[in-house]
Amino acid sequence: MEPTAHSSNKNSRREFLKRGGMVAAGSALVGMAIPRVHAATDDTIRLALIGSGHRGSGAVGNAMSVPGASVKLVAMADLFERRLSGSHKALSKLFGDRIDVPADRQFLGFDAYRKAIDCLRPGDVALLTTWSGFRATHLEYAVEKGVNVFMEKSISPDPVGIRRVLKAGKLAEEKNLKISTGLMCRHSSARQALIKRIRDGELGRIQLVRAYRMEFRRPLGPKKADDLELYWQIRNPEKFLWVAGGYFHDRTIHLVDEMCWLKDSWPVAATGAGGRSFDDTDLSQNLDAYSIEYTFADGTKGLVVGRYYADCPAEFATYVHGTKCAAQFSGNIHAPKVRTHRDQRITADNITWEPPKEQVSPYVEEWRVLLDAIRHNRKHNEVERSAYSDLATIMGRAAVHTGQTITWDDAMASEFAYCPEIDRLTPESPAPAEVDAAGRYPVPIPGRWSEI
């Protein structure tokens, strides 16, 4: 079996904790200087973590790795006690008394996010790191309470959630709140250097962007008889469209965001194809392959491919082709593998320029920018561009799932929501995805499926 590309990443938030809540040998902090422990003072920015899985715990580590940062974790919220306690133990081991979350500020349940955010003061930061199905709900409350936000990608699994996030983002701007999102590649110095060269005309007019995330994806097996169906689906988020938009959406938004950044615009339409292998034993809602052609207003094309078979070559990269020459924009697991080439050949012997090695991980740099904006009252709101990149991802996914061409206007106006009752979920609520007698969940069939 081809090893998943994740095995090589040592800076990803996802790799911060090992399974079972153990510290991943400081993996999220490799190459970063951890600042000394600060005493709690009036200028300490307090954090509340909503969603204490690998991404949330990693985001806390990234925040605390900003040199000179005076931040402290004071509250945590999750649905699952084991995950919360494992995260608390691992973070405490790494950061000592900067993790100031006693039992009475550890909250469980669907309303736990409210209790954690209520522990914050104006100027503090709520980390919204649950899966994207819950993002709009949590963001709206954080903005209502007047606190700053770091929220993970993806933004929402459906167009209704995107519009809710956009509305909350506008209100945050009116309140002068600062919001950062998890599309950290925008904070990569190597990518920023290439973007400047592209804007200066070095590649000529951009004609094509192509991006690939081809890796092994573990299938979903049968649910244990004693597992609550609703919690089973939330514990397997990328297997269910309502929780995180599915595997393609959650993992590929970074590549779609890079495509839109390179073009400095949003696609007007998307069409695509995909499917599952005939002998697939996966019980989830995911397809095994996605191939999407995006069209921009000037006719430029963007190609985005996701493929999740075992025993096949892996690739994780973004390339851009101009009328003068081509360039690589991104490498394996978001590595800053950035270089320009003499012509259209992307080969090691055809490189004309590479940027200096990045001195700061983009995962930490996005936090430095956020904390600096808070301390110096600078405008900082990444909601709109991140939500638009997510909407473009939804367009591509919907084009494959439905077999139709999906336009930007279609997606922006859509009233489709996977789980309209998500704000009112309780442990007794029925699970949004209905399982059949064979233990399988609904899988998109082009021509019969609707999600726009």
398-419 pLDDT tens trace: 999 999 999 999 999 999 999 9
Give the C-alpha separation, 416 to 354, whole Å. 44
Q: What angle do CA 145, 149, 154 make, to 5 degrees?
A: 125
Q: Which CATH superfamily is domain 5-185+364-381 in?
A: NAD(P)-binding Rossmann-like Domain (3.40.50.720)
% residues pLDDT > 70 (the chain): 91
Cα maximum dimension of the chain: 61
- pLDDT digit string (tens) for 361-389? 999 999 999 999 999 999 999 999 999 99
Find out whether 165 and 139 touch, Cβ atoms under 8 Å.
yes
Q: Which amino acid is at 400?
A: V
- Examine the pLDDT at 422 and tell me if it is beyond 70: yes
Sign of CA dihedral 281, 274, 162, 63: positive
Find out whether 185 and 11 touch, Cβ atoms under 8 Å.
no
**Same CATH fold, 189-358+390-424 and 5-185+364-381?**
no
Spatial neighbors of 348 by CB under 8 A, at least 6 apart, are none
* pLDDT reported for residue 11: 55
pLDDT band at 103 (very low <50, low <70, confident <90, very high): very high
Find out whether 227 and 281 touch, Cβ atoms under 8 Å.
no
* pLDDT reported for residue 14: 56
Length of the chain: 452
3-state SS assignment for residue 449: coil
- Examine the pLDDT at 394 and tell me if it is beyond 60: yes
Give the C-alpha separation, 112 to 220, whole Å. 28
DSSP string, 98-161: GB---GGGEEESTTHHHHHHTT--TT-EEEE-S-GGGHHHHHHHHHHHT-EEEE-S---SSHHH
- pLDDT digit string (tens) for 268-322? 999 999 999 878 899 999 999 999 999 999 999 999 999 999 999 999 999 999 9
pLDDT band at 20 (very low <50, low <70, confident <90, very high): very low
Q: Report cis status (omega within 30 of 0) of the bond before 180.
A: no
Give the C-alpha separation, 373 to 369, whole Å. 6
Domain boundaries, the chain: 5-185+364-381, 189-358+390-424
How many CB atoms are located within 10 Å of the residue 325 CB? 18
- Examine the pLDDT at 3 and tell me if it is beyond 60: no
* pLDDT reported for residue 44: 97
- Examine the pLDDT at 98 and tell me if it is beyond 50: yes
Question: Exposed, middle or buried, 20 (CB in 10 Å: 0-12/13-18/19+)?
Answer: exposed
* pLDDT reported for residue 42: 67
Mean pLDDT computed over every residue of the chain? 92
Find out whether 46 and 52 touch, Cβ atoms under 8 Å.
no
Find out whether 247 and 180 touch, Cβ atoms under 8 Å.
no
* pLDDT reported for residue 279: 81
Instruction: Tell me the fold of 189-358+390-424.
Output: Dihydrodipicolinate Reductase; domain 2 (3.30.360)
3-state SS assignment for residue 329: strand
How many CB atoms are located within 10 Å of the residue 232 CB? 17
Q: Which amino acid is at 75?
A: A
